[in-house]
Structure 1
Amino acid sequence: MIVEVAVLKVKNGQEALFESDFKTASQYIRSISGYHAHSLLKCMEQENKYILWVHWEKLEDHTIGFRQSPQYVHWKELLHHYYEPFPVVEHYQEVSLV
């Protein structure tokens, strides 16, 4: 299991529109093979800051399966114009501790 994490900074004053469009865009990511779940968390200290996390079966489900899909085109059209600056997206895997 891979967790995709992105810190999203939305242009000031556009938070409500972003959240509405994010709900619509969620249908596109849910439809991708290897997708498990996602969540959007809003920062309590900075109204325009969010964290997106997505659970994927494997890295390629996101980097190839989603990003090279027609669904990603719709996702991008709905959401990418809100970000300033454009977010850094990182992937994490669980570390087993003994």
Structure 2
Amino acid sequence: MILEMAILQVKKGEEVSFESDFVIASQFIQSISGYVSHSLRKCIEVENKYLLLVEWKKLEDHTVGFRESESYLEWKKLLHHYYDPFPVVEHYEMVMENKKELS
């Protein structure tokens, strides 16, 4: 499993529109083979900063399967104009995981 991570700096004042368009854009990333899950988190300290986390089965599912697809063109059209600066996307592999069971 690969975790894609991007810190998204959304242009100030466009957060509500971004969040709305992100919901729409989610259908495009979900349609890709090898997609597992994704989440969008909003920073508490900086109102126009977000964290995007996407889980893929393997790196190429993102770098080739998604990035070279028609779905990516739709994702890009909906979301890329919100970013300033454009985000750096990084990929991580699991080294260790520990979860506390909630009761």
TM-score (norm: length of structure 2): 0.92
Q: Residue type matched to 2:88 in 1?
A: V
- Aligned-pair distance for 1:74? 0.2
Residue matched to 1:35: 35
Within 2, Cα distance between the matches of 1:36 and 1:2? Answer: 9
1:1-80 equivalence runs, <5 A: 1-80=1-80
- Aligned-pair distance for 1:95? 1.0
Within 2, Cα distance between the matches of 1:64 and 1:73? Answer: 13
Q: Residue type matched to 1:80 in 2?
A: H
Deviations 1:31-59 (Å, cap 9, x if unpaired)? 00000000000000111000000000000
Structure 1, unpaired ranges of 5+: none
Structure 2, unpaired ranges of 5+: 98-103
TM-score (norm: length of structure 1): 0.97
Within 2, Cα distance between the matches of 1:51 and 1:93? Answer: 17
Percent sequence identity is 66
